[in-house]
């Protein structure tokens, strides 16, 4: 009896099974590779250039103004924003010499109508080349009408005074900045302390303001999250 035929049949079946396993393994490898590639892409950074370079190698003062309601409900916001923005410019902007934020703040206290003065006069009074004026029009920790949820928002216009410009009484540049904190939606009041939410919002807001003035890296896909 010739048993070559059954042996060839068994060999063929084994080969077919091996091919199927190899194919499945290949799909797994490609799937893993795809996930790795996606993760690398999501983590990429891009360089963002400064929107305004006129603070470099200049003397600078930072002034902060806020709506009356903000001043009443969050009295520490103005000094905290002034201090953080001044520190950021000093640390990140090449050659900038920043007037001590406490001196600038005290000047605003001694000059209660300072925000009605001609802009060029403000720069002269402070003795600086540039004045960064942060005018906060919104600062809140909750959504309107719901104090049981943390949903912080800070918004301001940023105006730059150039003492040596053709028209020092007009802003050389103006920008609008608006940020939200925390990133978690509908975070209950019991989940975090008010001090932590306010500190986080001020930090995110002032970092965003400071990035107007120097080149920096940002996430290429800030809102993208990998799915498991």
pLDDT (tens digit, 9 = 90+) per residue, 80-137?
999 999 999 999 999 999 999 999 999 999 999 999 999 999 999 999 999 999 999 9
225 within some domain: no
Q: Is 79 in the same domain as 56?
A: yes
Q: What pLDDT, on a 0 to 100 scale, did the predictor assign at position 56?
A: 98
> What is the distance between the alpha carbons of residues 116 and 228, in angstroms, rounded to a whole number?
55
Give the domain extent around 17: 4-43
Q: Is 83 in the same domain as 153?
A: yes
Q: Is 100 in the same domain as 181?
A: yes
> What is the distance between the alpha carbons of residues 99 and 12, in angstroms, rounded to a whole number?
84
Q: Is 67 in the same domain as 34?
A: no
Number of compact structural domains in the chain: 2
Q: Is 190 in the same domain as 115?
A: yes
User: What mean pLDDT comes out for the span 16-30?
Assistant: 54
| β-bridge mates for residue 181, sequence order | 152
Q: What pLDDT, on a 0 to 100 scale, did the predictor assign at position 18?
A: 54
38 within some domain: yes
Give the pLDDT confidence of 149-202 residue by residue, as tens digits: 999 999 999 999 999 999 999 999 999 999 999 988 889 989 999 999 999 999
Q: Is 16 in the same domain as 128?
A: no
pTM: 0.79
123 within some domain: yes
Q: Is 58 in the same domain as 17?
A: no
182 within some domain: yes
Q: Is 140 in the same domain as 108?
A: yes
Cα–Cα distance list, 102 to 124, 172, 176 (Å): 18, 25, 24
With 80 as the cut, is the pLDDT of residue 42 above it?
no
Q: What pLDDT, on a 0 to 100 scale, did the predictor assign at position 40?
A: 59
Q: What is the CATH number of the domain that holds 107?
A: 3.40.50.10610
Q: What pLDDT, on a 0 to 100 scale, did the predictor assign at position 10?
A: 62
Q: Is 131 in the same domain as 36?
A: no
Give the pLDDT confidence of 200-225 residue by residue, as tens digits: 999 999 999 999 999 988 887 766 65
> What is the distance between the alpha carbons of residues 28 and 24, in angstroms, rounded to a whole number?
6
Q: What pLDDT, on a 0 to 100 scale, did the predictor assign at position 226?
A: 44
Q: Is 39 in the same domain as 63?
A: no
């Amino acid at each position: 009896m010739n048993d070559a035929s059954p042996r060839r049949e068994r060999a063929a079946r084994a080969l077919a099974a091996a091919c199927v396993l190899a194919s499945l393994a290949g799909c797994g490898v490609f799937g893993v590779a795809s996930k790795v590639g996606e993760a690398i892409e999501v983590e990429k950074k891009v360089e963002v250039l400064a929107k305004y370079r006129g603070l470099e190698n200049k003397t600078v003062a930072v002034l902060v103004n806020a709506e009356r309601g903000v001043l009443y409900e969050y009295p520490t916001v103005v000094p905290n924003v002034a201090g953080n923005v001044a520190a950021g410019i000093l640390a990140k902007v090449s050659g900038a010499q920043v007037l001590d934020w406490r001196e600038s703040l005290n000047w605003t206290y001694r000059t209660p109508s300072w925000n009605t003065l001609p802009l060029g006069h403000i720069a002269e009074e402070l003795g600086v080349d540039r004045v960064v004026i942060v005018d906060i029009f919104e600062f809140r920790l909750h959504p309107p009408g719901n104090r049981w949820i943390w949903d912080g928002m800070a918004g301001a216009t940023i105006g730059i005074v150039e003492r040596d410009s053709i028209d020092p009484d007009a802003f050389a540049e103006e920008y609008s900045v608006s940020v939200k904190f925390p990133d978690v939606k509908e975070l209950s009041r019991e989940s975090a302390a008010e001090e932590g939410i306010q500190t986080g919002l001020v930090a995110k807001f002032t970092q965003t303001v400071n990035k107007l003035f120097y080149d920096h890296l940002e996430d290429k896909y800030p809102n993208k999250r990998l799915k498991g």
